[in-house]
Chains A and B, each alone.
Chain A
Amino acid sequence: MTTAYPLPSNLSPATVANTASLLRIVALALISGAAIASRLFAVINFESIIHEFDPWFNYRATRVLASQGFYEFWNWFDPTAWYPLGRVVGGTVYPGLMATSGVIYNFLHALNLPVDIRNVCVLLAPGFSALTAWATYMFTKEMKDESAGLLAAAFIGIVPGYISRSVAGSYDNEAIAIFLLMFTFYCWIKALKQGSALFGTIAAIFYFYMVAAWGGYVFITNMIPLHALVLILMGRFSSRLYVGYSSWYAIGTLASMQVPFVGFQPVKTSEHMGALAVFGLLQIVAFGQLVRSHVSSAQFQKLLYASVVATGILGTAVFGLLTYKGWIAPWTGRFYSLWDTGYAKKYIPIIASVSEHQPTAWPSFFMDLQFLIFLFPAGVILCFRELRDEHIFVIIYAVMASYFAGVMVRLMLTLTPVVCVASAVALSTLLDTYIDPKEPDTGDDTKSESEATVVSASGTNGSSFSATPTPTPSKKIKKAAAAAAAPLPTSGIISDLVAATGGPTRRGEPIKTKGIFGMDSRLIVIMHTLAMLSFFVFHCTWVTSNAYSSPSVVLASTNQDGSQHIIDDFREAYYWLRQNTPEDAVVMSWWDYGYQIAGMADRPTLVDNNTWNNTHIATVGKAMSSTEENAYPILRKHDVDYVLVIFGGLIGYSGDDINKFLWMVRIAQGVWPDEIQEPNYFTPQGEYRIDDMASQTMKNSLMYKMSYYRFAELFGGNQAMDRVRQQQVPKVGPTLDYLDEAFTSENWIVRIYQVKKEDLLGRDLKSANAFGQGKKRKRTKPVPRRRAIV
């Protein structure tokens, strides 16, 4: 046997194995380091704080857990959220994240490392990303081998699609969920391969952890049964499948019901019925197999199949009946909108209003995955080529996750792991083929080369390979040539692809009739691959540092001399609330800011990001979008002391409340269609404007008044300009009768208004105000009085 480059021959296999395992350990350690380090941009550039909105609640709950213990947290009733109603936190939260940080916190304190709970929370996601890399390594190792596993671990360590949800400070459920997802899948694959109840049990325990951590556990609940079902349909039922699935389902389902937020859902809702149905089907099939092993009459087998089919149909009918009767709850809107993509927009505006629930655009696939998105289909095709039981899992996962990621931006997160795995399989196959030093046999070398030239001359498909001497086996070449001669060019391309990727699977054959000749072709391909990989690293680092590492709490802008200017209005305002208002002052804001107000300002809020009560949110939307006179009773009824609005018109912060205003109107309209109508907020031409041409309803709405109150004065008589809408604000700004401006932050981003108490003399506040002003300026007196009568 000839080799392309010299190999050392005096190494014992033990040395090779030891060195390889040492290299793997070092590589995994470096991957963990890279995964952690690339997530620290935000901490180093800014500071170690919690980002975004949801993490503020998780952080607040974790603080309760760390300071008061687990049982207090478990039974925590939070009277400050959803102000008049309160929130049973223990029963409406996935406690896995908080429990994890609580355990880490107590562990570190037991070691006399007194770390602040905030730092545990901030750095939890980077820590778990290292574990995710390890879990992906283990998972991919089951698919192919260790080298593919290392590639997959390196990919998922730095890929932006996962970093986006797990930078330091992003203390969200996804931080630990992706690790649990991958590890559960790994255990499931292991249980299926070995047929071991041990791994089924471990899969169930990690499934339980996943259920406790993230609402996306439903993905696992449906992926594993789907895999099992496909295996049964492909005729791949085995006792191993039975053992793995049954032990996972029996323990996992019971375990998942221990989480109070999940409760009896696993036996009562449609999302979980697939798993139950496959469980029942497996029992039937297993029993049928058992009976078949004892009896061998063909007629009897037919009868058996008939009974199996009948039982299946009966079971489906029972499920249908139960769903129809309402004993099994139908799909919730959040999941249903994944199938009927127009559903949320029509019926549940609150789901459609979240920007993460929009469909994904093509560029974001490239931005989040770079060249992995091109390798991903190749990896899936390679899985088809070998098609062991676990490859079917990857294929199903790839198909399902691709669909979901296409429907919803935030589900890109579940796609990323399988993209990393499949691309690692593809890339590792490529590298295996081209690093393999074995030269093909030169015996039939001339023959195959002559045939290769025939192919390249005869068909379009050979042209790409004629540049490098690719000696495919003569059998394959004949096939490729036949395919090229056939009228369908696609089949030629496919067989060409099959021939090109067939390298490593046939390596064990005694007669090696194909391979790569010489060093030059090897070097070209490997150098090219290395270049792609290094570009990937640059791309990931660039995307991470530029796009995903900004805490939304502080806004950063660059001055003209390149120095960084930090806009810290949010915390300025929240701390003003914290320090200058009574502790029980109720703050009303749009629900986006509920968690942040509770976390930073520590004041009761009316609504927050946990949007469990749509009517309550609609009430806030109604108060924001109606006139002062109509809004005031709502505010008083809910004991609102302060109203907080976000206004970006001065510095051009586009995510402000005027841009979200139409969603408030829509959500309010869903509950009070008579009082709030969306078309009233548009100009007659159907434009959404805030300048002189704005509709009267718009100008009179509370939100408009609060946003633009005194805004025109800021420009000292010049034309006032809203820098987000790029429209000129009317010179005479709105006046407020029922609210007082209490605080406006430095850049006017956060504006806080105090709700006035009722007039001491019993007048309505508008006429009282008019009276107070009318004394000074007689001329304006009649106008407000006339309004007051109306």
Chain B
Amino acid sequence: MAPKSSAPTQQTTAIQTLWKAYNEQTSDRLKFIDAFLFFLMLSGIVQFLYCILVTNFPFNAFLAGFSSTVGQFVLTASLRSQVNPENKNEFKEVSPERAFADFALGSIVLHFFVYNFLG
């Protein structure tokens, strides 16, 4: 495992290059989506920590809240990959506008179940 032994020093530079490459190569729209993804991730982490550290008592409420963030995260991530110009030839039948409509519909359905499950 050659890469692992020299990992610590490489990792910092690798992460720096990654961050730089990301900043340069990503359009503002995708960055906006990424900001939302980051917020959702934080929200999910906070809920999960609350569940572990404090209580999971209304378990359905925890599940509803947590799966709302997870579901919204993956739906947004789906939207991100669908509108990403790099993936254009992968999604031949899904235009960005349709992707957004799909995203909206998926989120509405998801949150319908979330509210139903909050109880």
Contacts and interface: CB of A to CB of B under 8 A. Distances in A.
- Check if A and B associate: yes
Q: A-B pairs with the 7 shortest C-beta distances?
A: A250-B71, A246-B74, A197-B102, A243-B78, A239-B81, A294-B21, A198-B102
B50 interface: no
A191 to B, nearest CB: 10
Contacts of B74: 246-247, 249-250, 283
B106 A242 contact: no
B67 A197 contact: no
A197 B78 contact: yes
Given A196-B94, A240-B91, A254 B82 contact: no
A129 interface: no
A253 interface: yes
Contact of A201 (B3, B63, B106): B106
Contacts of B117: 254, 257-258
Name the residue in B64, B90, B113 with the highest tally of chain A Cβ atoms < 10 Å from its Cβ.
B113
A108 interface: no
Interface string B65-103: 001001100110111011010110011011000110111
Contacts of A197: 75, 78-79, 82, 99, 102-103, 105-106
Interface residues of A, number: 38
A254 B10 contact: no
Interface string A277-320: 00000010010000101110101101100100000000000000
A264 interface: yes
A201 B105 contact: yes
A200 B3 contact: no
B116 A295 contact: no
A201 B75 CA distance: 10
A254 B67 contact: yes
Given A255-B113, A264-B63, A294-B18, 19 more contacts: A195-B82, A195-B93, A196-B94, A197-B78, A197-B79, A201-B109, A238-B90, A239-B81, A239-B90, A247-B78, A250-B75, A251-B106, A254-B64, A254-B114, A264-B59, A283-B74, A300-B10, A303-B7, A306-B1
Given A294-B25, A300-B14, A194 B106 contact: no
A50 to B, nearest CB: 32
A477 interface: no
B27 interface: no
Interface in A205-259: 205, 238-240, 242-243, 246-247, 249-251, 253-255, 257-258
A198 B10 CA distance: 42
Contacts of A267: 63
A590 to B, nearest CB: 38
Q: Which of A195, A253, A299, A306 has the most CB of B within 10 A?
A: A195
Given A239-B87, A246-B78, A250-B74, A198 B106 contact: yes
A125 interface: no
29 contacts: A195-B90, A195-B94, A197-B78, A197-B79, A197-B103, A197-B106, A198-B101, A198-B105, A201-B105, A205-B109, A240-B91, A242-B81, A243-B78, A246-B75, A247-B78, A247-B106, A251-B109, A251-B113, A253-B67, A254-B63, A254-B110, A286-B77, A286-B81, A294-B18, A299-B3, A299-B10, A303-B7, A303-B14, A306-B1
A255 B91 CA distance: 27
A369 interface: no
A204 interface: yes
Interface in B6-24: 7, 10-11, 14, 17-18, 21-22
The binding surface of chain A is classed by DSSP as helix
A201 B7 CA distance: 41
Contacts of B98: 196, 198
Contacts of B103: 197
Contacts of A253: 67
Contacts of A249: 74
A201 B102 contact: yes
B75 A293 contact: no
> Chain A CB within 10 Å — which of B78, B79, B105, B110 has the most?
B78
Contacts of A240: 90-91
A239 B60 CA distance: 31
B18 A258 contact: no
A239 B91 contact: yes
Contact of B93 (A196, A204, A300, A302): A196
Interface residues of B, number: 46
Nearest to B116: A258
A303 B101 CA distance: 37
B60 to A, nearest CB: 8
B106 A200 contact: yes
A295 B77 contact: no
* Residue in A195, A197, A249, A258 with the greatest tally of chain B CB atoms within 10 Å: A197
Nearest to A282: B74
Contacts of A238: 90
Kindly name the residue among A251, A253, A257 whose own CB sees the greatest number of chain B CB atoms within 10 A.
A251
Nearest to A294: B21
Contact of A297 (B14, B22, B67, B110): B14
Nearest to B67: A254
Nearest to A263: B60
Contacts of A300: 10, 14
Interface string A356-400: 000000000000000000000000000000000000000000000
Contacts of A200: 78, 106
B3 A196 contact: no
Nearest to A291: B18
A303 B77 contact: no
A428 B113 CA distance: 42
A242 B117 CA distance: 25
Contact of A306 (B4, B25, B59, B93): B4
A197 B77 CA distance: 11
A295 B14 contact: yes
Given A197-B78, A295-B18, A302 B3 contact: yes
A786 to B, nearest CB: 63
Nearest to B74: A246
A239 B82 contact: yes
A303 B109 contact: no
A250 B110 contact: yes
B82 to A, nearest CB: 6
A138 B66 CA distance: 35
Given A195-B90, A254-B114, A303 B10 contact: yes
B25 to A, nearest CB: 6
Nearest to A306: B4
Contacts of B59: 264
A302 B14 CA distance: 12
A195 B81 CA distance: 10
Contacts of A293: 86
A297 B11 CA distance: 12
A291 B79 CA distance: 17
A605 B78 CA distance: 53
A196 B82 CA distance: 8
Nearest to A310: B4
Interface string B13-47: 01001100110010000000000000000000000
Contact of B75 (A247, A291, A294, A306): A247
Contact of B78 (A242, A297, A303): A242
A1 B94 CA distance: 39
